[in-house]
Structure 1
Amino acid sequence: MGLEHTGVRRATADGTDASRWARGPEKPTPFETVLDSLRLPYVLAAFVFANLLAAPGFLVVEFVRTGSWDAAARIAVANGGDVTWEWMANAALFVLVDFLVFLGVRAMRVWLVSAKDELVALCPEGEPAYRHVFRFTSAMWPVVISAGLELISGVGLALSDSGRREGLFLIPLEILRFLLTLGILNFVWMYATGLLGLYELGKRPLRLKSYREDSLLGTRLIGQLSLRFAFSYYAVLLIVLVANSFAGDLSTALTVAVFAAIGIPMFFLPLSGIRRKMTEVKRRELSAVRARFVQAVADLREDDPQPEGEPLALVDRRLRQMTSLQVLEMEIRDATNIRTWPYDSRILGQLTIIVLSVTAAMITRLLINAFRL
């Protein structure tokens, strides 16, 4: 009898779970699968869904229900109020937010797949280690969570007065909300599982490069991945803040502030394990090369020239010792330059610019709310 009839989960040869609940980045995420069903290039499909799951899509549904573009625009664009240019700008920017979120889902997964060979080279366990740490990136959990959230909100809405007014039109609205929630959750899920995978990878034994070959010990890609994930995260937050500055409320700005504050430690946390390893390598290499330098100096002093002069052999030996000291000095300098974080100053500067941009936009939004009050 085959395993497919026993109810036992299949496992891959490397021991990782092959079920839908544990799928690595080689597999498309659930939301990507939805977009791929359009049979369009992914960027175009993301653009279509960004409009469908934002104000334009809800506008069409409300128009079919009300028969009036004006009434539909008030509901879908202006949250029940008058449609102004601020609300139009807000709606357009949230279409852009959706578009970036949907692109980010695939981009983060593709980054992990593209980095596979280099990450595998760092792991003594090879590809099984890579598959294990990123085993949940394309899992089906976002579908379950989205369905649960929409079921709760849908039941509550159906029992409310507004839900009764919507009638059967509540069904397409809930479908749109479910797909939007799925897209956002898949973005958050990919972001979180990707960073957690990097964190778990950093805790494993790694095959680091020699500091003579690379001051980052071969971990540059890990820092770059963390930065790319952070860039996607903060880019979305920044545009949400800009959109909220046209038409929105203080609660949205405060929510973004919370997520922005969480994002900073989320950038550094996955790198903490790598940092400990790099710090240990730097300490060990510096200690070893300094011990050799001290010994070389001691040997040189033991061979101080005699008053009557030095034999030719002793002169040759002294020259070799002096050369050895110069080499050791260069090794000390190289060991001192070993980085203890897997990124260089350029990467850190890019992150700083992103964080400052979000902070400036957040402060601007808070000031706007203060003056309105």
Structure 2
Amino acid sequence: MGAPTASRELTGRPSDDLHGPDAPTLAERFVLAFRLPYPVGCFLVGFFLFGVLDVALTKYAETANLAPTVAKALAPVSLLTDLLVAYSFYAPRYMRRRLVETGRALSNLLPDRDAEFRRIFAEVAAPRPQVVAWMLFLVALLAAVSVPVIVGTGPSPFVFNAGAGTPLEFVAGVYGIVSLAVATLALSSVVWTFWSISLGIHRFGQAPLALRPYYEDPFLGLKPLGVLSLSLAFSYFGFIGLFLLVLSASPGT
């Protein structure tokens, strides 16, 4: 029998050597590249580098005035959006680690134990579907922020023409695109991690499980699965709640 699933991520092995749910998602890999404690990395990346700094750079390129720049960067809707992105980097790791921690108890119910558990939840960290989800989110968000230009009610949020804008506006436009890409990586990762683990739970329920007798365990050995499901729900609906707060705080809503 292989090593327990719950212990693999704690061994310090490189992420490339991990498989299935043991491997970090793309969003996690991005934050881990900064080599900081993960919660600190989420705050630095999601809230500051591609949140506050992006808003401040865009506004300063537009006005060349610090007062409106600070006001825009510290506006409630901006801070809520930055918090949403930071949380979106943290939530997939939390959900995946909860799955890994639950793996030892759940894998004992499967015929092939740990190997089958990893097969059932293999898609959680699979790169290709994550990239597809990321690209879909990115295209959708780019289309959303370009609506004012399409309908002729506002300027483009990105300036790339050196003749029409200053070099700072060009830099701000490029940084804005990068920030959108980073934000959509986080947002798509939350949705993908929740969906893929939920799909894995469904597959787990269809497997021939060796349930424990009722007189030994009233939950038949499935209590960890219930705890995992609750953790997923709290994480995902926390994300939805923050998203709705951002929408409610946005102008025109």
| Fold shared by both chains (TM-score > 0.5) | yes
Structure 2 residue 63 is the aligned partner of structure 1 residue 56: no
* CA displacement at 1:247 relative to structure 2: 4.1
Q: Specify the structure having the higher radius of gyration (Cα).
A: 1
Q: Which of 130, 138, 145 is matched with 2:133 structurally?
A: 145
**Bigger relative contact order, structure 1 or 2 (CA pairs below 8 A, ≥6 apart):** 2
Q: How far did 1:91 drift?
A: 2.5
Question: How big is the shift at 1:51?
Answer: 1.4
Change (3 A) 1:53 1:233: farther
Aligned match for 1:29, one of 19, 25, 29: 25
1:44 corresponds to 2:47: no
Structure 1 residues 227 and 149: CA distance shift in structure 2, 3 A: closer
Of 156, 162, 165 in structure 2, the residue corresponding to residue 162 of structure 1 is: 156
Q: Percent identity?
A: 24
Counterpart contact for 2:60–2:66, Cα < 8 Å: no
The runs of 5 or more residues in structure 2 that have no matched partner are: 1-15, 162-169
Is 1:217 aligned to residue 220 of structure 2?
A: yes
Unmatched segments (≥5 aa) in structure 1: 1-19, 78-86, 251-373
Q: Do 2:27 and 2:186's aligned partners in 1 also have CA atoms closer than 8 Å?
A: yes
Q: How far has the Cα of 1:179 moved from its partner?
A: 0.7
Is this contact kept in 2: 1:208–1:218, CA < 8 A? Answer: yes
- Partners of 1:148 and 1:223 in 2: CA distance: 31
Call closer, same or farther: CA 1:53–1:164 in 2, change over 3 Å: closer
Structure 2 Cα separation of the partners of residues 248 and 71 of structure 1: 17
The question of 1:206 aligning with 2:209 is answered yes
Match of 1:124 among 111, 124, 148: 111
How far apart are residue 148 of structure 1 and its match? 5.3
Cα deviation, residue 35, structure 1: 0.5
RMSD: 2.9
CA contact (8 A) 1:54 1:91 kept: no
Per-residue CA distance 1:15-38 (angstroms, 9 max, x = gap)? xxxxx9xx5111111111111111
- Residue of structure 2 in register with 1:239 after alignment: 242
Q: Following the alignment from structure 1 to structure 2, what is the Cα–Cα distance between the partners of residues 171 and 241?
A: 28
The answer to whether the 8 Å contact 2:98/2:228 transfers is yes
The answer to whether 1:187 aligns with 2:190 is yes
Distance 1:213 1:248 in 2: 57
Query: How far off is 1:171 after superposition?
Result: 1.8
2:158–2:174 Cα contact (<8 Å) kept: no
Look up the match of 1:312.
none
Q: 1:45 to 1:173 in 2, by over 3 A?
A: same
Answer yes or no: is 1:175 the counterpart of 2:169: no
User: How far 1:243 sits from its partner (Å)?
Assistant: 4.4
- Given candidates 73, 90, 94, the residue that maps to 1:103 is 90
Residues 25 and 135 of structure 1 are in contact (CA less than 8 Å); yes or no, is this contact kept in structure 2? yes
